[in-house]
Amino acid sequence: MSSSSMRAIARAYLLNPPLPGLSEIKPGWDNQMELVAAGGMVPDQSVAALHIVSETEQRVSVPAVLGIRMVHYVLELQICYMVDGDSEEIVGGVDRLVESVKARLRADPRMGQVASAVFEAAQGPGAQITVQRGDVQYVNTGLANSLASQWVAVRWTATEEIQA
């Protein structure tokens, strides 16, 4: 499987059925303000993009020329939550959206796929789901399209098992 296939699997899993408050996940974007501009001007909305932050591989069987390799994709869903309201509304809306993303990731450790496509997602040793609020990469919380906005990133690892 390729990186683009893993991104497509994760994106489809998060969108079907749609998460409350998150109707679209872009596969990426050139810059964050371009993503915010795509959100329009309706109150209480969010726009998101799914990135593959990194990929690593490790061999889990011998001999060195045949066997099983695990490919670990670190995925990050970056969300810009916008609301025409006050700080309590934005914090509550972000918290509800983050909880719905985490619940979806916890619901199926294979993101709707068979084991040959996704060995596990948001599982395994170490941090399984990480959430960062506020400053995500380059854009701070503040105003976007004249609406109060809050950036949040949800990061998890999805692992593919391949014969190699």
pLDDT tens column, 108-152: 988 988 777 788 888 877 668 888 876 554 444 555 556 677 888
Fold classified for 3-163: STM4215-like (3.30.2000)
Domain boundaries, the chain: 3-163
Q: Which residue has the tokens 């994760």?
A: 10
For residue 161, what pLDDT is reported?
A: 85
Residues 6 or more apart from 37 whose CB is under 8 A from it?
145
For residue 84, what pLDDT is reported?
A: 72
User: What average pLDDT does the chain have?
Assistant: 79
Could you tell me the pLDDT band of residue 67, with boundaries at 50, 70 and 90?
confident
DSSP annotation string for 75-129: EEEEEEEEESS-HHHHHHHHHHHHHHHHHHHHH-TTTTS-TTT-SEES-SSS-SE
Is the predicted pLDDT of residue 105 greater than 60, yes or no?
A: yes
For residue 107, what pLDDT is reported?
A: 92
For residue 48, what pLDDT is reported?
A: 87
Residues 6 or more apart from 14 whose CB is under 8 A from it?
22, 25, 50, 77, 101, 104
Angle, vertex CA 127, rays to CA 4 and CA 27, nearest 5? 20
Structure tokens given for 113 = 């796929």
